[in-house]
Chain A
C-alpha cells in the first residue's frame, strides 16, 4: 500500500520562501509529483521527481530523497497568486496512476 503525509495548512508572507514537506511510505516507488490546486479549480501539474535531488523550475523547486521517503516543494519570492492547495502524489506500484495526499493549503498574505 501507499501512505502520504503533508501538513494541512501553512501561512507565509509575500516575497518570502516557503517549504512544503511530504513524507511517504510505498512498497514500490515509481515517481513523486507535486500538483497545485487553486480554490474551486482543478489540480495542475507542477513537478516530477524520480531520482534523488533537486529539480528547479523557475520560482518552484522540488526535492526528493527516496531513502528517507521524503520530498519537499520550495516556493521562492511568494506572490499572492501562490495561495492554493499543494498536493503531493505518488505513482502507484504499476506506475500507471497517481495516488494523492490530502494537500497543504498555503495562504500568502501581504
Chain B
C-alpha cells in the first residue's frame, strides 16, 4: 500500500501566482480531507469530501481557495492568486469506511512558500 501521495513535496512561488496541490488517497478510502498547518494556528481543516462530494468547506479561508475531487483517486487544492500568508504545510488525508472512518492517514504534505 503506497499510502496517501501528495505532490509537489515543496512549492516556492511568487505572490499572485496560481498554486495547485495534488493528492492521491489510499485506494478504497471514501473520505478525503485537506488540512493546513502553521505554527500559529496549528492543523486546520480546510475541506473534506465523502465519496468525491464536498461535504464541508467552511474551513476554506477565502474564495481564493478551491478544491475538487473529480474521481475517487485524485483531488486538487488550488490557490489563485496566492499570497505570502498562505505559506504553510498543506496535508491531504484519507480515511476508510466503517468503524475506523475517523482514523486518518496523512500524506507527507506540501510545504508551500509564497514570496
Contacts and interface: CB of A to CB of B under 8 A. Distances in A.
The finding on whether chains A and B are genuine partners in a shared complex, rather than unrelated, reads yes
Interface of A: 30-31, 33, 35, 41-45, 48, 87, 91-92, 94-103
Main secondary structure of the interface of B (DSSP, over half): strand
A33 B100 CA distance: 12
A91 B42 contact: no
The winner among A41, A97, A101 for most chain B CB atoms within 10 A is A97
Contact of A97 (B48, B91, B107): B48
A41 B103 CA distance: 17
Interface residues of B, number: 22
A96 B101 contact: yes
Given A91-B102, A96-B55, A42 B45 contact: no
Nearest to A43: B106
B115 interface: no
| Cβ-closest 3 pairs across A and B | A102-B42, A42-B106, A100-B43
